[in-house]
Amino acid sequence: MNIKDKLKQISGAWYFLIGMLIIYLFLFFIRQDLFSLSINFFHNILLKIIPVFILVFVLMSLTNYFITPRFIMKHLKEKGVKKWFFVIIGGILSTGPIYMWYPLLADLKAKGLSYGLAACFLYNRAIKIPLLPIAILYFGWQYIIILSFVMIIISIIQGILINKLMEVKK
């Protein structure tokens, strides 16, 4: 394998990292004041984010361990508010690309999941636990809590409306 083939195998992320290191090295020699300002900014952001990342990691690990497909199927058979609660939590905790969830939702639909619950699940996918640390850093706790609460309430309203509209269609 020659050098050109090896270079093609390197991910773009590595090129970006190497490019940034070169820029910082250049900045270190040319403008040390900007270099230290940038390093201090990075350090301060890192100190703010690390505790939240640890919390998110612990929460994700616990949910991956305790919430299994069997657990989800069992609770989607519940009646009333419990079913909505589990769909909301499931949407928030769901990971991966959305198109991977369509077959599962279609299967659940065949087993009795309403269109409204499916819509509620999809709506709540917008609340992403791994992205919360950055959102909190930029917007603050209060805004993110209010935004998440509003999104959850609107997802329920949306689900109820979709159920009503689908009943009219039949």
Compute the mean pLDDT over every residue in the chain, rounded to the nearest whole number. 84
**pLDDT for res 95:** 77
Q: Evaluate if residue 111 carries a pLDDT over 90.
A: no
**pLDDT for res 112:** 77
Distance between CA 141 and CA 59 in Å, rounded?
18
**pLDDT for res 9:** 72
pLDDT digits (tens, 9 = 90+) for 15-74: 888 899 999 999 899 999 999 999 999 899 888 888 877 877 887 777 777 766 667 667
Amino acid at 27: L
Q: Evaluate if residue 170 carries a pLDDT over 70.
A: no
∠ CA(151), CA(155), CA(159), 5° rounding? 175
**pLDDT for res 153:** 96
Stated length of the chain: 170
Q: What DSSP line would sit under 76-136, residue for residue?
A: HT--THHHHHHHHHHHHH--S-GGGHHHHHHHHHHTT--HHHHHHHHHHTTS-GGGHHHHH
pLDDT digits (tens, 9 = 90+) for 6-29: 666 777 778 888 899 999 999 899
Cβ atoms < 10 Å from Cβ of 13: 8
Contacts of 31 (CB under 8 A, 6+ apart): none
Distance between CA 24 and CA 39 in Å, rounded?
9
Distance between CA 159 and CA 141 in Å, rounded?
27
Q: Evaluate if residue 124 carries a pLDDT over 70.
A: yes
Contact between 60 and 137 (Cβ < 8 Å): no
